[in-house]
Structure 1
């Protein structure tokens, strides 16, 4: 683009100057170095004082300047015809480049383009996030779980786990309570005393002050086992725990799979607690029949598959209880298998201990009611 300028000079009365030479003389006087002589140099007498001056248009060079400055001039400078090169009859004015303004203009254009592009892309994909200065990028948890995602205008929180309603079989267990203790030290001491006597010792997960020595779904079986322990100097009382027949739980899978898992848990817990309590009530417990062993193995296989189906679909707190249930059940089945192989009575107490752990973890998972 041609940015030439035209420059005119006028005197104080608004008239065009008669002589560019006089202006040149004034410029030389103003810019002359200071010396001891204050007299200006004399004009040559040979030069006519009132010689008419003609002008020629010369295109001047103009550099990039402020884009917001008003460039309304023609960009043409009028120079005297007789002006010598390098003389004082005219001068060049160079406009300096404002690099700060250039950088600011470019930055503003880039930011404006980025924001416009983000708005257009958001119209097609609402989940798309673009890192914009001043807005933090989304973070991810250690387990790969989505965290809060900051976006323009608000925060998208983690997706809520849906609630499901499950129906449970009726479950009521009679625990052999060894005592209720006011301190954690007392609970630990009571458990140690029971283990030293070769008896099961489980702590209540809901009321952590209670310690139990055995469990049975049948009240008469529980009383028989309590009487047998009483002859050995261990005094126990019955404490009933009932699990609910329905529960509302947070679950990300199909409600039918969760309901099947809890139903099979109830069957397996009933089978192990009842058989082990009945055998311990005998003076000389014998091994289970092949039919009982086969039914236990089949039930455990079905339960293991159901446990794998619900794994990872519960909340963090419920997942911890489900893992506790899985460990306890596997240990109880393994102890019963060992008893059937070796016939050691200590393995039956191990079954009792692990079944109590399982029932108490399930109670915490689905919620339950404790009797007096």
Structure 2
């Protein structure tokens, strides 16, 4: 058995010294707390590795481990780690901001739309009666004293009125899909010296004439067709009754609408019947007298109704009154001059009246 021995020489740190190796850079070791506190992290040594010896149990000693290392496990005393941005945190922050903004916007819109009914601080203070009654808390959407004291014209009162039977046969020039097409059709009729009216309810339709008599309307349509203007009949019937925003005497309104229908019938029949004639005649003295009396009665009824309709319907009534007066004036001028263009003007004003009345009664 070979009983030779191996001799090992160690330096002050417990490492074997090797004379064959050249000088090497010595790492710094921190062996106690005092040395660690004395170490200045602000100098350039921050970028060198520093180690501290963690002593192990003596039973774990190994000559070969001791030979290659220092007899202990070397671990860094500290390390510098740059912070990393978490994309989950960024996404969460953005989502939270969006949700918060949406909720805030909903609350603001609810306040403006008077959908929130809780008391809002600063609007007013609660008032309690001397008898110890319940306090009045101001609530959004609650009817205030100012609302109760609105002007009378802003308070809508609807009355049901009976209407005379009214059926009108319009000479329809066409149905157009755009407003430009409607305007072009009206211009074509006017350039031909024919009446042109646009339906105020179904705004795609354009009319060239009207009559309360269907056969008379057919005759007029045939005459225009021979002149190159193709028309079809379109019938409009007004209701037998309607709810109207009106605060006056209901009988005055019913009389006004009845006299209006009668006057429109006279004007449309007188003008349409003469338009189909090659040489139209003037109105007879009886026709002129009847038309004058009807217009006078209608004027008085219109004055009795004026000012009692709502602001929206008052606009329609003014349009109707202007149309009737213009039609009567044009018929009077025709009776003096005999120009056929004046009969088309009567037709145009009558259609204007019917459209305004239809808008008022719908």
Measured against the shorter chain, the TM-score band is: 0.5 to 0.7
Q: 2:352 aligns with which of 340, 351, 357?
A: 357
CA distance in 2, matches of 1:315, 1:196: 38
| 2:250 corresponds to 1:255 | yes
Alignment of 1:109-188 (within 5 A): 150-151=144-145, 155-156=147-148, 158=150, 159=152, 160-188=155-183
How much has 1:312 moved relative to structure 2? 1.0
Paired residue total: 223
Compare the two structures and name the one with the higher helix fraction.
2
How much has 1:162 moved relative to structure 2? 2.2
Alignment of 1:285-364 (within 5 A): 285-364=280-359
CA distance in 2, matches of 1:182, 1:161: 36
Deviations 1:307-351 (A, max 9, x none): 111111111111110010011111000000000011010000000
How much has 1:236 moved relative to structure 2? 0.0
Aligned residue number for residue 269 of structure 2: 274
Q: 2:204 aligns with which of 200, 209, 212?
A: 209
What TM-score, normalized by structure 2, do the two folds share?
Answer: 0.59
| 2:215 corresponds to 1:220 | yes
CA distance in 1, matches of 2:143, 2:306: 27
CA distance in 1, matches of 2:291, 2:251: 23
Aligned residue number for residue 237 of structure 2: 242
**Cα separation, partners in 2 of 1:347 and 1:155, compared to 1, 3 Å:** closer
CA distance in 1, matches of 2:233, 2:317: 27
SS at match of 1:170: coil
Aligned residue number for residue 195 of structure 1: 190
Contact 1:149 1:157 in 2 (8 A): no
How much has 1:246 moved relative to structure 2? 1.1
Which consecutive residues of structure 1, in runs of 5 or more, have no partner in the other structure? 1-114, 121-147, 368-372
What TM-score, normalized by structure 1, do the two folds share?
Answer: 0.57
CA distance in 1, matches of 2:242, 2:228: 40
How much has 1:193 moved relative to structure 2? 0.4
CA distance in 1, matches of 2:265, 2:147: 48
SS at match of 2:279: coil
SS at match of 2:234: strand
**Cα separation, partners in 2 of 1:187 and 1:157, compared to 1, 3 Å:** farther
SS at match of 2:317: helix
How much has 1:261 moved relative to structure 2? 0.4
CA distance in 1, matches of 2:275, 2:168: 17
Contact 1:217 1:270 in 2 (8 A): yes
How much has 1:150 moved relative to structure 2? 5.0
SS at match of 2:237: strand
How much has 1:360 moved relative to structure 2? 1.0
Which consecutive residues of structure 2, in runs of 5 or more, have no partner in the other structure? 1-126, 131-141
Deviations 1:267-317 (A, max 9, x none): 001110111111101111110100000100110011111111111111111
Alignment of 1:40-119 (within 5 A): none
Aligned CA RMSD, in angstroms, stands at: 2.1
How much has 1:248 moved relative to structure 2? 1.4
Aligned residue number for residue 260 of structure 2: 265
CA distance in 1, matches of 2:147, 2:257: 37
